[in-house]
Amino acid sequence: MSAPTHTRPLPAPRRTRTAIGPSTRLHWWAPALPVLGFCLLLLLLAGSGEAHAATGEVSGLVQVAEQLLRAVE
């Protein structure tokens, strides 16, 4: 026959900032990436009416993309 065991009740959890919910602070790039993607897609749509056969000249979109890549580096 087993003996009964007595356990203490657990203390109530503290209401700290982490217990309430996750932090809502965003990194700077979190809102910037969707804005950048939207702008690039808008540029693609705006330039599609001027589509022409491939020539030696570079399109405006390629120039903008190159400038963005240089700025990021």
Query: In the structure encoding, which two tokens stand for residue 48, read together?
Result: 């599609």
Task: Give the per-residue pLDDT at 21.
Answer: 58
Q: How far is C-alpha 45 from the geometric centre of its chain's CA atoms? A: 23
Mean pLDDT score of the chain: 77
0.75 exceeded by pTM: no
Query: In the structure encoding, which two tokens stand for residue 1, read together?
Result: 């026959």
Average pLDDT over residues 40-53: 75
Rounded Cα distance, 64 and 58, in Å: 10
Above 90 in pLDDT, residue 37? yes
What are the helix and strand counts (H, E) for the chain?
A: 3, 0
Task: Give the per-residue pLDDT at 8.
Answer: 79
Average pLDDT over residues 50-58: 65
pLDDT band at 9 (very low <50, low <70, confident <90, very high): confident
